[in-house]
Chains A and B, each alone.
Chain A
Amino acid sequence: MRSSSGLVVRYALLALVNALAVYALMALGDLGMWKGFTAVLVATVAIDAVYASGRFVPMKYLLPGLILLLVYQVYVVFYTGAVALTNSSEFNQGTQERAVNVILAQNERRVEDSPQYRLTVLDKDGELAFLVTDPEGEVFVGTADEPLEEVDDATLDDSGKAVALDGYTTLPYADLIGARAREITAYRVPFSEDAGDGSLKTQDATNAYVYEPTAVYDEAAGTITRDGVVYTADEDTGYFVGPDGAELTPGWKVNVGLANFTRILTNDDIRGPFAKILVWTIVFAFLAVALSFALGLFTAIALNDPRMRFRRLYRSLLLMPYAIPAIISAGVFKGMLNTQFGFVNEVLLLGADLDWLGDPWLAKVSLVLVNLWLGYPYMFLVATGALQAIPSDVVEAATVDGAGPWNVFRHIKMPYILVATAPLLIASFAFNFNNYTLVAALTNGGPPMTGAEVSAGHTDILITFVYELAFGGEQALYGFASAISILIFLFVGVISVIGFRQTKRFEEMS
């Protein structure tokens, strides 16, 4: 029998979880986010079922991880996958209907030299009317159906602006907010019987101007005609496209199937520098892991020796690079590597003239070295932990059997360390494979490859290269970027799987 205090704590926690869930459900329901609503509901029911009853003991341990896995991994991957199948981009976000509305609104032009009218918005039986005063003090009234007509019995304020008219109610400001705001800004009062004279519209309900549309939408034909040019809705690209291929913006979101993937795989511009960049990415990620592991392990062994004094102090100091955010370190290094004024050339190398960040090879060296500085404290921590976990009797037994320090390290300690750290090394490889922050902050991919057809640099890794492709152009291409993320995800995934297989062999060996 479990203690009663344990039960109390368990139910108190469950109650808390349920209370939070109810709040979240109410908030989500309020916002109309029904997918999120269902997800939270299912998760809460599952939590209650598992923890309130005593029947699913293994699940008690698995559930939190499972929920986090679903939320932060599975959902994100599927969401990215869904976006990758669309043309989603900065200019293609909403529906076609919204695109049409925006295009029409952007293509109304104020009639040149037309006056500014002071406006009062009126209401008659729920219908709007515009009461306007022109610069000469003449007063007109009009509605959507009846063009402007002069009136002389309007009530004027001190400035001569008409503010009320018999038979109409002047809308109080409170009515200009919310639902009616859209109605008012969409309202058009024809200037005259002739539609070609344009119509009055307002944005702030204080002034009105005469506008004429330069674009017309034909819903039946699915076309927009602007300045005499006909643009036809293209459901494949999500734009209204003109005869010369020009597109009206914004467009809308459509499914494009695998087009984003084929674009990556078949585009010559991307394929050109791709091989070079892929090789460098792998080399960079490998060197980043290998060098930082080597240095981290070396310092860990040195500081693990009991004869070493001030070990704690050294260990704390070693953690410094790890504690400083990479983006700041990269900025500092960028300054230190300045050819003429930098600390490295000026002081360390006594006035050398090495172009650390501008020469293709030196830039690569700089990147690896700065990454080493940032990465080895982590490896030091990991290796220290692994070293201390080695059973001392095994080491002693080997020593008694006559093994020297090198053989003890080579055949006893190293296998132990590798088994413990191999998964972390693989994770570190995956991290450095996508180490956007460091490359962007230190070299930004430069110096540029001069022969390349697209923007690519000698220190670009895959992620910085494709970031520029997806986000460096006229607009951010979310669908294309998602497709790239999925490919990189698959690539890193395959490397990790191979890596973990190798690790298994280590374990069998030891």
Chain B
Amino acid sequence: MRRTSVKATTKAAALLAAVGMFAAGCGSSSDGNGSDSASNPGGESSAPAATGTITVWADETRTPIISEIGKTFTDEKGVTVKVVQKDFGTLKDEFTTQAPSGKGPDILIGAHDWIGALVESGGIAPVELGDKAAEFQDVAVEAFTYDGQTYGLPYAVENIALIRNTDLAPEAPASWDDMVATGKQLVADKKAKLPIAIQQDPTNGDPYHLFPLQQSFGSSIFATSPEGGYDASQLTIGDQNGIEFAQWLSDAAKNGVINPNVSYDIATGEFAKGRVPYIITGPWALAAFDEGGINYSVEEIPSPGGEPAVPFVGVQGLMVSAHSENAVAANDFVLNYLGTEEAQQKLFEVGGRPSAMTSVFEQSKDDPIYEGFGTVGANGVPQPNIPAMDAVWAEWGKTEMAIIKGGDPAKLWKNMTAKIQKTIDGS
């Protein structure tokens, strides 16, 4: 959530280290045009001679698939696709610091909530989806839209939902109170250790996992602007709805429903041992539940505040660098090779997240897990992609944690709003 930026000084040191490495790597390094593993096989007579290279930064999961599709591109277009594996967590910062000096890629994968900062720093260029936009889920395209332009080709949608242990709680809860009552009864009967698990970091809180509940009180972070998207100049988190949520959070914590000590490990660990009937989490935790032999279902989060408790939706996609010297080939590869149903199907298979492409998602609906997460996500709101959001996360989480630990909800919430406003104004 928090970005860790590389200081300018480190960059300077890295530059010098690179000079050293140039010297040390004498002979073995490539010539920059990349005679890499993904190079043109050249065996096919119809394949044009390789005339250029486009570089893609991808994470571990997607590198093999993009390399594979890149080979097709090389065969048909004669452009080498060099896929460089990067750590997803640091990819954005690496791109931000390296792209202006020409060391960045032509294409990068990333999360939609990076695009605000990447657009405003001039790092990525618009990607015109054209008529293809209709093939993707609305929430996915909306997520990759900034100031009226689209800046990426989405491929996966990710969100949290309610996961219910169907052995402990056979019935889907009718309401939030119903769920809490069932959970408490199970705890009282010594069948469960916690009524419900909503993960929290004991110091930083976890606003992401609490947001659906906050949203159910009608509380949002920023107002939406008339053209769509969020308006950074209108911070709405501190309004009456927000304070009502803060009050509810305080009560829920006193009531034992939200526990400050239930970290991610504890929440998923206890659920995987069958000692919690309900958990609010995402698809990343499912492997542990399957391993624990838990029978579960994925469904909508009941609303404590009256309005639907919809989560933030995170969308992953492919973006094109504004610094690319090969923008034609980069756009061609992204739109016409990675934007096909076949490619999206492959990206879905390795990623294990509901596809952003409607047709691929529909096919995956036979699996109740994808159906569950996907349906909750389709109703969700994109996590704000404006850079001002960076000023929100840390303070938001710490404040919620202070409220959960018994602080005065209204006072803390107002103080948080003032601090966030200060941070936004200050930068």
Contacts and interface: CB of A to CB of B under 8 A. Distances in A.
B423 A454 contact: yes
Contact of B423 (A340, A472, A478): A472
Closest 6 CB pairs of A and B: A473-B427, A177-B52, A250-B122, A249-B120, A204-B331, A340-B261
Given A358-B202, A481-B7, 6 more contacts: A76-B12, A106-B147, A250-B120, A472-B390, A474-B117, A482-B7
Contact of B16 (A75, A207, A447, A448): A75
Contact of A481 (B8, B122, B232, B424): B8
Contact of A471 (B5, B19, B203, B327): B5
A142 interface: no
B405 A358 contact: yes
A339 B261 contact: yes
Contacts of B263: 335, 338, 341
B292 interface: no
Interface in B273-331: 320, 322, 325-329, 331
A149 B69 CA distance: 37
Given A24-B22, A457-B398, A102 B122 contact: yes
Contacts of A474: 117, 232, 387-388, 390-391, 423-424, 427
B149 A450 contact: no
A15 interface: no
Most buried by B among A23, A99, A443: A23
Given A76-B9, A181-B327, A203 B401 contact: no
Interface in B124-147: 125-128, 130-131, 147
Contact of A450 (B120, B259, B402): B402
A304 interface: no
B19 A36 contact: yes
A93 B412 CA distance: 37
A88 B427 CA distance: 12
B329 to A, nearest CB: 6
Contacts of A98: 122
26 contacts: A21-B23, A40-B19, A79-B9, A79-B12, A80-B9, A94-B100, A173-B77, A174-B49, A174-B78, A177-B51, A182-B327, A203-B335, A204-B335, A334-B203, A355-B405, A357-B202, A358-B260, A444-B394, A447-B402, A450-B412, A453-B419, A472-B390, A473-B391, A474-B232, A474-B427, A482-B7
B100 A116 contact: no
Interface residues of B, number: 84
Contacts of A444: 203-204, 394, 398
B100 A24 contact: no
Contacts of B331: 203-204
Contacts of B23: 20-21, 23-24
Nearest to B419: A455
B203 A446 contact: yes
Interface string B162-178: 00000000000000000
Contact of A72 (B13, B126, B335): B13
A448 B327 CA distance: 46
Interface in B370-400: 387-388, 390-391, 394-395, 398-399
Contacts of A481: 7-8
A163 interface: no
Contacts, number: 242
A91 B120 contact: yes
Contacts of B424: 473-474
A368 interface: no
A475 B116 CA distance: 10
Interface in A311-346: 334-335, 337-342
A477 interface: yes
A31 to B, nearest CB: 9
Contacts of B224: none
Contacts of B418: 453
B265 A335 contact: yes
Interface string A449-493: 011111101000000000011011111111001100100000000
Contact of B96 (A90, A109, A442, A477): A90
A102 B322 contact: yes
Given A116-B130, A203-B128, A209-B128, A339 B8 contact: no
Contacts of B130: 116, 207, 209
A40 B261 CA distance: 55
Given A473-B390, A473-B423, A20 B26 contact: yes
Contact of A475 (B78, B121, B322, B407): B121
B261 A181 contact: no
A352 interface: no
Interface in A35-65: 36, 40
Contact of A27 (B22, B117, B422): B22
B405 A471 contact: no
Interface of A: 19-21, 23-24, 27-28, 36, 40, 71-72, 75-76, 79-80, 83, 88, 90-91, 93-94, 98-99, 102, 105-106, 108-110, 116, 172-174, 176-178, 181-182, 184-185, 202-207, 209, 249-250, 269, 334-335, 337-342, 355, 357-358, 442-444, 446-448, 450-455, 457, 468-469, 471-478, 481-482, 485
A205 B261 contact: no
Given A75-B16, A473-B426, A448 B398 contact: yes
Nearest to A267: B426
A250 B390 CA distance: 17
Contacts of B266: 338, 341
B122 A94 contact: yes
Nearest to A21: B23
Nearest to A176: B328
Interface string B327-366: 1110110111000000000000000000000000000000
Nearest to B418: A453
Contacts of A468: 394
A88 B402 contact: no
Most buried by A among B24, B127, B202, B390: B202
B415 interface: yes
A471 B3 contact: yes
Contact of B19 (A28, A94, A207, A478): A28
B8 A83 contact: yes
B148 interface: yes
Nearest to A358: B405
B48 interface: yes
Contacts of B265: 335
Interface string B191-230: 0000000000011100000000000000000000000000
